[in-house]
Amino acid sequence: MNQNSQLDLHPDAESLNAFAEQALAEREREQILAHLAACSRCRQIVCLAQAAAVEQETAAEAPKARSTIWPGTWLRSWRIAWVPVAVLAAIVTLAVFVHQRRMDTGSKLARIEPQAVPQNVGNLAKPSTPPQKAETAPLPVPVRSATKSLNPTTPTVASEPLPQHFPASSPHFSQAASIELPNSSHELAALPPDASKPEGLSRGAVVQFKPETVVSARELQQALGTAQSHAAARAMQSARGSETQGRRILASTAPAQQYEAKAAIPGPIEVSRQSLMVGIPSIHLTKTTALPSGLPAVSTAISRHCVLAIDQAGELFQSEDFGGHWAHVDRQWTGRAVTVHLSNKENKAAGPTGAGVEQSESASGAEVISLSAATFELVNENGKVWVSQDGKTWKMK
Amino acid sequence: MESAAVKGVSCTPRALADSLLDELWRECDAAGWGLDRSEFDAILLSVGTARNYGLAEGEAASRQQRAAYFRSLRLSDLVLARACAAGNEQAWERFVALYRQPLIRAAIAITGSETLGRDLAEQLYAELYGLTARAGERRCPLESYRGRGSLMGWLRTTLAQRHVDHYRRSHREQPLEEFDAQAPEPAPEKPAAELTALERAVEEVLRCRDAEERFLLASYYLDGRTLLEISRVLRVHEATVSRKLRRATGGIRKQVLRNLQGSGMSRRAAEEALGADPRDLDLNLKKLLQYSQSDTFQEKAAR
């Protein structure tokens, strides 16, 4: 059967196409249909042609659909940019919101948390404790003992020389430091570049530098108490990359001016969001805003109940929500107020449990941590002293 | 290839009203393809008389029937095809712009292969351009297009025709080493009387079904086409095809039962016979369906 006879036997392409396109009269359509029912070849031809037609129609409709979605107007051509812009705007909004919330929470100046009092006071001062034992069994340090042992005036403080271990130029410890003591979490303190080992922290105390944290020595002293702060201040001035008995003291490469500026120049209360825990109730210091007068504080005193601050003009402000809101205290003293602090007598009367930590500081950097209820003392420029229990009512001493 | 004459068309007396011819002339813009009015009229008449205006042979077409037939044609495609067949350059440019890429895509879709599709399309394109000649005369397949259905559809069907014919020719060519002589068939056992009656009943029923039902049955059961493919050919919904198939099979079953009962079986025996294993039946459905070809094409084959 040659091709001619095939063409004679089967309907031509035009008839098959006309059948598929419904372009035939009824009589001719019936003829083609009857032929298709009997002829697999023609059925195959019609099916293949129809499949190709459908594929071409589908391919032709796709660009139309695309052009419908993206007409060439300049405004709509930017449509693809709206998505990242919207995402960026959402991120910025979220960041502002989070920052605002942090600022709100940061206005709470301090929060005091009672902490378990460690036992076993004497281990801290024993210089002969093996390093391995010290590492496996952390030395619990009671507050009073720790405070006493870290006080430079206390002769029981063990001050071993701390060997150089970490290079001062280590980027990980380049800017600031943290202090760790047994049974405590890490804490922070800015150290001067020429700091050497602290006497009070030679045993049981670990000083670590953290690049992301900068805290003045004043805060460290606030946390450690007067005796501790003196030791720590000296430690920060002398310590530089030391380690002893598994505990290390690392030096900071921060410029000396940084520390000195923070210690000497009175200004807004400097804060850190991290807590300082040295086996005593931890104090969470947070960032504060300037005083209502707009002037920086030259002296502050923090008790469990309130915070007092004297600005550069000698005005006294009181806050009962740890710096969230400040109230001006009317002048009940003569002259210009210079310093406000807690009474030392009350400190000495504090119990051994370490409950109720209070602290004060002056422009010169002298801080006091009181362990009992507060009695504030205000000193004017002539050296006269006024006392107050609540910070509002003052009586001459 | 400058030629204004249209091959195969002789001047015939006008059988249409001048107003209709004028209207059709304006509609298809034949002048743009280098055809003059007389050539256009000749093309229309040749197309109409070739199919007797869509009527049965020997039946005389009235003026309205002729007008309706011409209005149903794709005259713009027809004029373009005839202008291309006549070698009009502008028409070829238009043809290439409109159909070259779709032709290739259709060929790829039909063959399922980029290489085979491009070969098939280029081969047809060369034929359409008139590179083949018979008896010293250039022949263009576009002359066989008469405007029924779209030119693109005609091209697709022509491509499918070429591909199927090529496949059927080459499919039968098998390497000798793979050819094993079949063992002689065992002598046929005499089938049971019930099975013989069932075979006869099925044959009769299938012969009696109308063309559409047989087409559905053949496409679905023999070719394995899906309902969607069949629905595309018939331009109906899939559900319609499914319904027609269900109706066809149900009707065949009823008719077979009636035929069996007519041959002397009881209803119960007829139903039991219908439950016989189809593999026991010596029925060639393909032959049965092909037996009832349309008379028209059988007549053509006889000629």
For residue range B27-76, what is the model confidence (pLDDT) as tens digits? 887 888 878 888 888 888 888 888 888 888 788 888 888 888 888 889 88
Please state, in angstroms and as integers, the Cα–Cα distance from residue B250 to each residue in A297, A357, B247, following that order: 101, 97, 5
* Contacting residues for A329 by C-beta, under 8 A, at least 6 apart: A308, A316, A317, A318, A391, A392, A394
More confident residue, A2 or A338: A338
Q: Is the pLDDT of residue A96 over 60?
A: yes
In this prediction, residue A204 has a pLDDT band, given cuts at 50, 70 and 90, of very low
Q: Which residues of A touch B293 (CB under 8 A)?
A: 34-35, 38-39
Q: Is the pLDDT of residue A217 over 70?
A: no
Please state, in angstroms and as integers, the Cα–Cα distance from residue A378 to each residue in A161, A274, A316, following that order: 40, 29, 9
More confident residue, B59 or A254: B59
| Residue-level pLDDT at A250 | 36
| Residue-level pLDDT at A95 | 93
Phi, psi of A41 (to 5 degrees): -60, -50
At residue A117's C-alpha, the angle toward residues A112 and A123, to 5°, is 130
Q: Which residues of A touch B168 (CB under 8 A)?
A: 41
Give the Cβ contact number of residue A138 at 10 Å. 17
Instruction: Determine the Cα–Cα distance for residues A321 and A323; give it in Å rounded to an integer.
Output: 6
Among B36, B30, B39, B125, which residue's Cα sits nearest to residue B80?
Answer: B30
CB atoms B232 and A31 under 8 Å: no
Q: What is the mean pLDDT of residues A129-133?
A: 42
| Residue-level pLDDT at A333 | 87
CB atoms A14 and B148 under 8 Å: yes
pLDDT digits (tens, 9 = 90+) for A321-337: 877 888 889 888 888 88
Instruction: Determine the Cα–Cα distance for residues A314 and A27; give it in Å rounded to an integer.
Output: 114
Instruction: Determine the Cα–Cα distance for residues B170 and B179; give it in Å rounded to an integer.
Output: 15
Placement of tokens 């007067």 in the chain: A226
* CB-closest option in A40, A44, A54 to B232: A54
Could you tell me how many residues make up chain B? 303
A/B interface, count of CB pairs below 8 Å: 161
CB atoms B232 and A12 under 8 Å: no
Lowest mean pLDDT among A45-49, A297-301, A363-367: A363-367
Tokens of A298: 């030259």
Which amino acid is present at B237? H
Give the Cβ contact number of residue A337 at 10 Å. 24
Among A52, A48, A19, which residue's Cα sits nearest to residue A34?
Answer: A19
Q: Which residues of A touch B214 (CB under 8 A)?
A: 34, 37-38
Compare all CA atoms of chain A with the CA of B285 and give the residue at the minimum distance.
A38
CB atoms B300 and A49 under 8 Å: no
As a whole-number percent, the residues of chain A with pLDDT over 90 amount to 5
Q: Is the pLDDT of residue A286 over 60?
A: no
pLDDT in tens, chain B (303 residues): 334 444 444 444 455 667 778 888 888 878 888 788 888 888 888 888 888 888 887 888 888 888 888 888 898 899 999 888 888 888 888 899 999 999 999 999 999 989 999 999 998 888 888 766 666 777 788 888 989 889 999 999 999 999 998 888 877 666 665 555 666 666 555 556 666 777 777 777 887 888 888 889 889 988 889 999 999 888 899 999 999 999 988 888 888 888 888 877 787 777 777 776 666 656 666 666 655 444 444 334 333
Q: What is the mean pLDDT of chain A?
A: 60
* CB-closest option in B211, B235, B303 to A37: B211
* Nearest-CA distance B285 → chain A (Å): 10
CB atoms B149 and A50 under 8 Å: no
| Residue-level pLDDT at B107 | 93
Contact B124, B66 (CB under 8 A): no
Placement of tokens 């331009």 in the chain: B235
Among B237, B216, B218, which residue's Cα sits nearest to residue B228?
Answer: B237
CA B25 to chain centre: 30
Contact A346, A357 (CB under 8 A): no
Instruction: Determine the Cα–Cα distance for residues A382 and A388; give it in Å rounded to an integer.
Output: 18
CB atoms B110 and A48 under 8 Å: yes
Domain ranges of chain B: 87-170, 193-292
More confident residue, A80 or A366: A80
Q: Is the pLDDT of residue A161 over 70?
A: no
Q: Which residues of B touch A52 (CB under 8 A)?
A: 105-106, 109-110, 156, 159-160
Which amino acid is present at B244? K
Give the Cβ contact number of residue A90 at 10 Å. 10
Rounding to the nearest 10 degrees, give the CA dihedral for residues A238, A239, A242, A244.
90
Q: Are strands A282-285 and A275-276 parallel, antiparallel or unpaired?
A: antiparallel
CB atoms A14 and B149 under 8 Å: yes
More confident residue, B132 or A212: B132
Tokens of B83: 């202008």
| Residue-level pLDDT at B159 | 93
Q: Which residues of B touch A39 (CB under 8 A)?
A: 290, 293
Instruction: Determine the Cα–Cα distance for residues B162 and B185; give it in Å rounded to an integer.
Output: 36
Query: What would you report as the CA-atom Rg of chain A, rounded to the nearest whole angstrom?
Result: 40
With residue B195 as reference, give the H or E element that holds it.
Answer: helix B193-208
Q: Using CA of residue B197, residue B202, residue B203, residue B208, what is the dihedral sign?
A: positive
CB atoms B232 and A51 under 8 Å: yes
CB atoms B294 and A31 under 8 Å: yes
Instruction: Determine the Cα–Cα distance for residues A105 and A91; give it in Å rounded to an integer.
Output: 21
CB under 8 A, 24+ apart: contacts of A59-68: A59/B105
Q: Which residues of A touch B148 (CB under 8 A)?
A: 14-15, 17-18, 23-24
| Residue-level pLDDT at B57 | 78
Instruction: Determine the Cα–Cα distance for residues A341 and A336; give it in Å rounded to an integer.
Output: 15
* Nearest-CA distance B207 → chain A (Å): 11
Rounding to the nearest 10 degrees, give the CA dihedral for residues A24, A27, A33, A38.
-140
* CB-closest option in B145, B159, B293 to A34: B293
| Residue-level pLDDT at B120 | 92
| Residue-level pLDDT at A77 | 62
More confident residue, A215 or A33: A33
Q: Is the pLDDT of residue A356 over 70?
A: no
* CB-closest option in A9, A25, A52 to B110: A52
* CB-closest option in A38, A41, A50 to B232: A50
Domain ranges of chain A: 3-69, 116-265+273-287, 288-397
Contact A11, A42 (CB under 8 A): yes
| Residue-level pLDDT at A65 | 61
Q: What is the pTM of this model?
A: 0.47
CB atoms B157 and A49 under 8 Å: yes
Contact A178, A188 (CB under 8 A): yes
- DSSP codes joined into one string, A145-197: HHHHHH-TT-TT---PPPPB-S-TT-GGGSS-BEEE-TT-----B---TT-B-
Among A261, A244, A241, which residue's Cα sits nearest to residue A253?
Answer: A241
**Which of B65, B161, B229 to mutate against chain A (most A CBs within 10 Å)?**
B161
Distance linking the first and last C-alpha atoms of chain B: 36
Compare all CA atoms of chain A with the CA of B164 and give the residue at the minimum distance.
A45
Q: Which residues of B touch A11 (CB under 8 A)?
A: 297
| Residue-level pLDDT at A92 | 93
* Nearest-CA distance B65 → chain A (Å): 11
Phi, psi of B129 (to 5 degrees): -75, -10
More confident residue, A79 or A197: A79
Q: What is the mean pLDDT of residues A18-41?
A: 87
**Which of B156, B213, B231, B252 to mutate against chain A (most A CBs within 10 Å)?**
B156
As a whole-number percent, the residues of chain A with pLDDT over 70 amount to 39
Contact B34, B90 (CB under 8 A): yes
Q: Is the pLDDT of residue A175 over 60?
A: no
* Contacting residues for A14 by C-beta, under 8 A, at least 6 apart: B144, B145, B146, B148, B149, B154, B157
Contact A327, A291 (CB under 8 A): no
Compare all CA atoms of chain A with the CA of B229 and give the residue at the minimum distance.
A47
Q: Is the pLDDT of residue A277 over 80?
A: no
More confident residue, A332 or A246: A332
CB atoms A37 and B222 under 8 Å: no
Q: Is the pLDDT of residue A146 over 60?
A: no
Among A199, A190, A121, which residue's Cα sits nearest to residue A160?
Answer: A199
More confident residue, A344 or B296: A344
Instruction: Determine the Cα–Cα distance for residues B116 and A138; give it in Å rounded to an integer.
Output: 82
- DSSP codes joined into one string, A309-362: EEETTS-EEEESSTTSS-EEEPP-SSS-EEEEEE-HHHHHT--TT--S-EEEE-
Please state at what angle helix B238-262 crosses helix B227-234, rounded to 10 degrees. Answer: 100
ipTM: 0.78
Q: Which residues of B touch A26 (CB under 8 A)?
A: none
* Nearest-CA distance B105 → chain A (Å): 7
* CB-closest option in B102, B110, B158 to A13: B158
CB atoms A17 and B222 under 8 Å: no
